[in-house]
Amino acid sequence: MHRLRRVLALLIGLVSAPLHAAVLPADQWQDYRALFVSPDGRIVDTGNQGVSHSEGQGYGLLLALAAENRADFERIWNWTRSNLQRQDKLFAWQWSPRLDPPVKDWNNATDGDLLIAWALARAAAHWQVPQWQDEARTIAVRLRGTLLREAPFGPLLLPGQQGFEEKGSLLVNPAYWVYPALAELARIDPEGPWEAVSQSGQRLLRLTRYGAAGVPPDWIRLHADGRLALPAESAQRRLGFEAIRVPLYLCWAGLHDNALLEGFLRAWPDEGAPAWIDLSNSDRAAYPLTLSQRAMRQLVIDCRQDRPTQALRLSADDYYGSTLTLLAQLALARPKSLP
């Protein structure tokens, strides 16, 4: 019965995947690949000592799929599977060329796992590779078996298996709810609670709007009594470089929370706005928005107006910002963001 469901889900995906030109033009993918993809398929974080992350590998898979470049997709997936995948089929969060062995910490990052599973499921439907859907479903089953916790607002996603449950509280990252990935997992793993997880993330966002702008922090702490509070650590209670992905995933999934989007624009009234704001005391960075935040600011503007966006110019020194510029373009692509 389970096998039959998987086959039916794959067939549905095949029927729903129309033939069309690549969402990401070949020249944009080629530029990105030249800057950030090694010949063996490793996505290189040029702004962070050349490390790689499961999140970055997931982004690379999505971009290669959007460019309809199967050879590059397979190269990235083969590197990811060979170097990051654990026996339980989740993925180590970081690989460093400066370490021996390159993986020092085998803890996972839940958003990276979600991104990889999403990319595999979509690629399985587009290129008719049932094995990739089976691998995506295995990841989904493992995630729901180990990374979900009950919360007053619904099932909560732990950011990783280790290090986020302490002192009677949970540390949560609102940007780890990758809404379009959750929708894809609901298709390939219909027995999972993925719709409820998506709803819980949206409720969490409605409960965590802080500061004058009314925006979510990079991290939030859920206490045993159900209280949500800003973390004590100043770097975690900022609108900094994590929560900026919240509008990306909302817009990509078609979840246009206009009140929240307007909050981001209040925080980023122009490109000279500070790169981060402490949502507890209004302390702010002494430098302006970086490429990643400028890309997300433009996405918010275009998402509110329901129009496509154009990628900003890529920067060889800024893997994260360059990646978000292309992902913003995919998020607002019409009618399909991925093949």
3-state SS class at 152: coil
Q: How far is CA 56 from CA 62, 85, 103, 240, in A?
A: 10, 14, 15, 18
Say how far apart CA 45 and CA 49 lie, in whole Å.
7
- Strand segments, DSSP code E, in 232-339 are 238-239, 277-278
| Closest by Cα among 121, 13, 109, 7 to 61 | 121
User: Cβ of 311: how many Cβ atoms within 10 Å?
Assistant: 20
CB 183 within 8 A of CB 190: no
3-state SS class at 166: strand
Please say if 278 is a catalytic residue: no
Please say if 55 is a catalytic residue: yes
Sequence-separated (6 or more) residues with CB below 8 Å from residue 86: 92, 106, 108
Q: Say which of 45, 55, 135, 318 is annotated catalytic.
A: 55
Q: Say which of 111, 135, 278, 318 is annotated catalytic.
A: 111
Which residues are identified as catalytic?
Answer: 55, 111
